[in-house]
Chains A and B, each alone.
Chain A
Amino acid sequence: MDDTTSAAAEPDRLRLLRVLGPAHVWALGVGIVLVGEYMGWNFSVGKGGMIAGLMACWVAGLLYTCVAMIDSEVTSTVAAAGGQYAQAKHIVGPLMAFNVGLFLVMAYTMLEAANAITVGFLLDTVAGMRGQAGLNQQPFIVLAIMFLAWLNYRGVLATLTFNLVITAIAFLAIVALFVSVQFGASAVPLDFSAITSDPLPYGWLGIVASLHFGLWYYLGIEGTCQAAEEVRSPARSLPYGTMAGIMTLLIAATMTWYICSGLMPWEYLGQAGTPLFDAARVTGSTGLMVLLFVGTAFATLASANGCINDASRAWFSMSRDRYLPSWFGAVHPVYRTPYRAIVFLVPIALIFALGAPLDQVVTFSILSGLLGYTFMTFNMVMFRNKWPLGKIKRGYVHPFHPLPTVVLLILCSTAYFAVFLGYGTQLSAMMCFYIVASLWFHFRRYKFVRRGDQFTMPWPKPHGY
């Protein structure tokens, strides 16, 4: 605080607490995403067949590697809570930032709701197996959200340490299943004959269509940058944690595809609710079944937990700039968390978790994420143009500059088309939502925003302005 760059700094200002290390960043990123391996990704097999599922897994992996590279460079330089929101504000402009902030809040709140629904579904399954049909899922959905919100309210270090532990267990459960199946623990052998007998049931179009759910393997890894104001050394920890996260996920995704495709007929896999748990059921081993049940439960909780963390950071940062009512931009004086944002988002998540069907919620989440990735492409180009290399200090510089951006743009366009195949109505409804919200912001809300204060980085004037 005693530095000279921040002229407005006063001695008694509240800030978020800077306590996290790279392992927490990894836990936040992987924790949100790993649930995608436990449920949801397998619809890509349903949309295009077994091979299409694997291609979608790797193509989406490539897309997210580009996302991680681009994000690491920008976020190691624009290190502020709100992540991509703060990036957009400094690089593209206020309206874009407002939209990106909304993408983040929507994507994470919807994903949180989807996770809570899954917790309820899983408990219902277990109750059914123990002879209690028709469990009332609502109390458990509410409890999951309430407990995690309370944990988030009490402080970020405990929240993400909790996430680190349960994410690690969920990841090891996948590895354990893979290793034991490899060493013959399964009563039923692996069978990949569908690859030759029924390679592409929908032809090449199926590969494109399956990309829609292929995104599920990795959706949310970009959430690592939300923690920027709470990491001890953002310029180092964020790229490190994000890259380690994407590598973990590529390994987990490929193992998941291999086990599930080998142990289940693709027609079943394409519509399964909890594919890894089902794979464990096929092996016939009770130990594996219990392990994968625990893994599924932990993965969903870790994801919901990370989502509460990220959505509240985005909401908080937008309020701090008065894009939203400034009341939400408060920091808890003891726990140093954005406590009003956390509390406010609880009922919103409950509305979606208790009222909307799962696939709607999931599609809304995927689409908001996809819009965010599209934003990253031109954001990156503008970042390098406005502040060329060497003009400001970057924590990390990604190699082959225009290439990841171009690849990302091509893959995003393909993904839009994939969503369009079957979910076109949702796509238009959502575009209309964002257009109306943008107009609302530009013509009504923006008048409450202080212009110059939005630019907080100690950078020189951008090139060309």
Chain B
Amino acid sequence: MAYEPPKQSFAGQIFDVITLLVLTIGALYIPLYLGLAGAAKVPDPIPDPTWEALGQNATEQQQWVALGITDPAAANDIITARFDYSFSWTSLIVMAVLVIGYFVMVVRLSDREYREVIEERFGTKRR
């Protein structure tokens, strides 16, 4: 006996699409509004920059000039900027639990639904 789904009204279809859209846009913009997004490089400019002090050899100096940056002071920020890779183990563990937990949940619920599908398609289970 096959499962017969209810027919969805047009308003219901629109409502469902809007729900998904709100979720998507929320996920993208909420970190942005909370100001938590993105990893920034922090420049650490040195005083009195010269190409030599910035560690640029003769060829590299030529390359900077070809890119339109003739003054070492203008390249100071670009050259000295570095990422900060320090992190807390707690947040790493939270992250791991979140990712693994998500996959476990999805696979388990999927399996439950999948058994229904197979049963309806191929007749009763033999187990």
Binding site for B on A (CB under 8 A): 46-47, 92-97, 99, 106, 187-189, 191, 193-194, 197-198, 201-202, 205-206, 209, 263-265, 267-268, 271, 278, 281-284, 322, 324-327, 348, 351-352, 356-357, 359-361, 364, 374-375, 378, 416-417, 420-438, 440, 442, 444-452, 454-455, 461-462, 465
Contact = CB atoms under 8 A, between A and B. Distances in A.
B42 interface: no
A99 B113 CA distance: 14
Given A423-B39, A428-B95, A451 B57 contact: no
Given A447-B5, A455-B118, A278 B67 contact: yes
A193 B121 CA distance: 64
A95 B106 contact: yes
B122 A461 contact: yes
Interface residues of B, number: 75
B79 interface: yes
A420 B99 CA distance: 11
B67 to A, nearest CB: 6
Interface in B12-40: 13-14, 16-17, 19-21, 23-32, 34, 36-39
A106 B24 contact: yes
B108 to A, nearest CB: 9
Contact of B120 (A92, A191, A452): A452
A383 to B, nearest CB: 13
B107 A96 contact: yes
Contact of B28 (A46, A97, A360, A451): A360
B78 A271 contact: yes
Q: Which of A267, A325, A348, A351 neighbours the largest number of chain B CB atoms within 10 Å of its CB? A: A267
B106 A438 contact: yes
A304 B99 CA distance: 29
A324 B15 CA distance: 11
A433 B23 contact: yes
Interface of B: 2-6, 8, 10, 13-14, 16-17, 19-21, 23-32, 34, 36-39, 41, 55-57, 59-60, 62-64, 66-69, 75, 78-79, 81-83, 85, 87, 91-92, 94-95, 98-99, 102-103, 105-107, 109-118, 120-122, 125
B5 A448 contact: yes
A34 B10 CA distance: 40
Given A430-B27, A452-B2, A95 B85 contact: no
A429 B37 CA distance: 10
12 contacts: A46-B83, A93-B117, A94-B110, A193-B57, A268-B69, A271-B81, A357-B32, A364-B27, A422-B39, A429-B30, A433-B24, A455-B121
Contacts of A357: 32
A374 B103 contact: yes
B27 A432 contact: yes
A60 to B, nearest CB: 19
Contacts of B23: 433, 436-437, 440
Q: Which of B13, B59, B95, B117 neighbours the largest number of chain A CB atoms within 10 Å of its CB? A: B117
Contacts of B102: 431, 434-435, 438
Nearest to A464: B127
B110 A92 contact: yes
A335 B57 CA distance: 59
Given A378-B107, A435-B105, A451 B3 contact: yes
A187 B83 contact: no
B63 A433 contact: no
Contact of B8 (A325, A424, A438, A442): A325
Contact of B106 (A96, A284, A348): A96
Contacts of B14: 325
Nearest to B69: A268
B83 A209 contact: yes
B75 to A, nearest CB: 8
